[in-house]
Amino acid sequence: MPHTTAALLSTPATAAALAFSSRHNLCRGGRIPPPPPPPSFSALFCCQSPDFHNSSSLFSSMESFWTGRGIMKNKAMVELLLTYGVVRSKKVAQVMEQVDRALFVPEGSPPYVDSPMPIGYNATISAPHMHASCLELLTNHLQPGMHALDVGSGTGYLTACFAMMVGPQGRAVGVEHIPELVATSIQNIEKSAAAPLLKGGALSVHTGDGRLGWPEHAPYDAIHVGAAAPEIPKPLLEQLKPGGRMVIPVGNIFQDLKVVDKQLDGSISVRNESSVRYVPLTSRDAQLRGF
């Protein structure tokens, strides 16, 4: 049975998790705490959570399914995500195994810790569980031949995953407004399993304001937004294909990961998947203030 927010907040483990999360600023691209881990893993956030697969949770939010640097291999990270039930489909497991996260985190950062990591320019690479969750939510809209847009593509990790899923007949487009991150993301992708798709033109990353989408390759079957918008940007709704799905964090301090479905008749339905914390989808100037 799902726990209430009040009940969760009353457990010492939850309080500790929240205190840790706010002290360590781990709240970028994360969600509610996990079920207890297998005994061999140390997890600071081990309180019982609401059923996050079913989560229209009011509970805000954390963040790490495991901590510590003990996970040394991408495959082991994916296996943990499977253990925790964050990865549920073969397709998502496969693509996360193929696209090694280590190629996308800055040198010196532990690649397989379940936490967002700074990538410079007041931006982060999202936590592995958040990448996995978004891939699971979009998996039916990332079939071979489909078009996918990754707004706020940062390191290029998810854009690469999208490209692998939609394949050479499809289109994966990243839009990021920091040109230096675009350049780094292209270098990252060139080292990854998605390199041939970049070379062949099925994958591209562009510098631009992602709030405007990328009309050239619209309409999109799948749109992922990797930063929190105050509201759903209209151009993104317009560029979503009938039958398509967008996953987007919306809000300021309190944010919900929203799943936006455009029906075949063009009508829109929106539901809250979970409470999350992302960096804002904003202007370049606002993001770089104080950097």
Q: Residues in the site for ligand SAM, rule: CB under 6 A?
A: 28-29, 121, 123-126, 151-155, 157-158, 175-178, 181, 209-211, 226-227, 278-279, 281-282, 287
SS (H, E, C) 53-112: HHCCCCCCCCCCCCCCCCCCCHHHHHHHHHHCCCCCCHHHHHHHHHCCHHHCCCCCCCCC
Q: Which CB atom, from 43 or from 178, has the smaller least distance to ligand SAM?
A: 178
Question: How many whole angstroms separate alpha carbon 254 and alpha carbon 61?
Answer: 9
% helix, strand, coil for the chain, step of 5:
35, 20, 45
Structure-block tokens of residue 173: 């487009």
Q: Which CB atom, from 135 or from 146, has the smaller least distance to ligand SAM?
A: 135
Q: Which CB atom, from 129 or from 171, has the smaller least distance to ligand SAM?
A: 129
Amino acid letter at 243? G
Q: Which CB atom, from 33 or from 210, has the smaller least distance to ligand SAM?
A: 210
Shortest gap between Cβ of 255 and ligand SAM (angstroms)? 12
Shortest gap between Cβ of 109 and ligand SAM (angstroms)? 12
Question: How many whole angstroms separate alpha carbon 31 and alpha carbon 64?
Answer: 8
Helix (H) or strand (E) holding 18: helix 12-23
For the question of residue 10 being annotated catalytic, the response is: no
What interhelical angle do 74-83 and 128-138 show, nearest 10?
70
Q: Which CB atom, from 33 or from 226, has the smaller least distance to ligand SAM?
A: 226
Q: Which CB atom, from 8 or from 259, has the smaller least distance to ligand SAM?
A: 259
DSSP-assigned states of every residue in 190-255: HHSTTHHHHHHTSEEEEES-GGG--GGG-SEEEEEE-SBBSS--HHHHHHEEEEEEEEEEEESSSE
Contact between 232 and 203 (Cβ < 8 Å) = no
**Which residue in 161, 159, 141 sits closest to 149, CA to CA?**
159
Residue from 60, 126, 192, 274 carrying the catalytic annotation = 126
Question: How many whole angstroms separate alpha carbon 72 and alpha carbon 121?
Answer: 27
What's the burial of 265, exposed, middle or buried (CB within 10 Å: 0-12/13-18/19+)? exposed
Residues forming the active site: 126
